[in-house]
Amino acid sequence: MLNFKLRILRVNSNDTLTNPDLCFENIARFKRLLDRINYKGPIAAMSDNTKLKSHLRYSIQLGCIIRSTLSQDETKVHIYNDIPEIIQSIKNKKAIANNVRAYILQVNKPNL
User: Using H for helix, E for strand and C for coil, what is the string for 8-68?
Assistant: HHHHHCCCCCCCCCCCHHHHHHHHHHHHHCCCCCCEEEEEEEEECCCCCEEECCCCEEECE
pLDDT digits (tens, 9 = 90+) for 30-68: 888 888 888 888 888 888 888 888 889 998 888 999 889
Q: How far apart are CA 57 and CA 73, in angstroms?
A: 15
Give the residue, 19 or 95, on which the prediction is more confident.
95
Q: Contact, 105 vs 44, CB < 8 A? A: yes
pTM of the model: 0.55
pLDDT of residue 92: 95
Could you state, in order of their start, the residue ranges of all structural domains in the chain? 2-9+19-107
**Residue 103 host element (H or E):** strand 99-107
Residues 6 or more apart whose CB falls under 8 angstroms from that of 21 comprise 71, 72
- Is 76's pLDDT higher than 90? yes
